[in-house]
Amino acid sequence: MFGRIDHIGVAVEDIDAAMELYRDGLGMREQHRETVEGFGVEAVLLEVGDGHVELLRPLSAESAVGRFLERNGPGIHHVAYQTDDIDSALGEVRAAGLRLIDEEPRTGIRQSRVAFLHPKATGGVLTELVEAAH
């Protein structure tokens, strides 16, 4: 169902401070930066081989990532798996009885199609499926 881990999403309060760690400290290159209004975040994709770290800064305290930061502070927010066909992948996890947050794919970073599974269905690990734009 999944090709690889696409990215690890990390919630941050300050993108510039996080870049000092990831770019200057850990040597990761910034590949892409985008404000994703639908998710209420500014996002930065950092290169790690074929995968990424996705830094997420909430645009408001009421966004999902804003509420996450309020509850948990900065840290790992989600794991994203790459799929070539998100519609069939969603069908498979739904058929397996897993609860979804997104019944239908939404538009994510770089015009990808994404959908989140409910963390209560995935052992507390917020899980995202990603189909890259073609």
Smallest separation, CB 14 to Co ion (Å): 19
The reply to whether 9 sits near Co ion by the rule CB under 5 A is yes
Q: What angle do CA 16, 67, 52 make, to 5 degrees?
A: 45
> How many angstroms separate the Cα of 1 from the Cα of each of 4, 11, 75, 100, 133?
10, 26, 27, 16, 17
Choose the stretch contacting Co ion; rule: CB under 5 A; options: 3-11, 25-33, 85-93, 118-126.
3-11
Among 10, 41, 45, 80, binds Co ion (CB under 5 A): 80
Q: What is the CA radius of gyration of the chain?
A: 14
- CB 128, min distance to Co ion, A: 5
- In the complex with Co ion, which residue's Cβ is closer, 19 or 114? 114
Q: Which stretch binds Co ion (CB under 5 A): 16-24, 31-39, 66-74, 122-130?
A: 122-130
Query: To which residue do tokens 């990390």 refer?
Result: 10
CB atoms within 10 A of CB 121: 16
Q: Which residues contribute to the site for Co ion (CB under 5 A)?
A: 9, 54, 80, 128
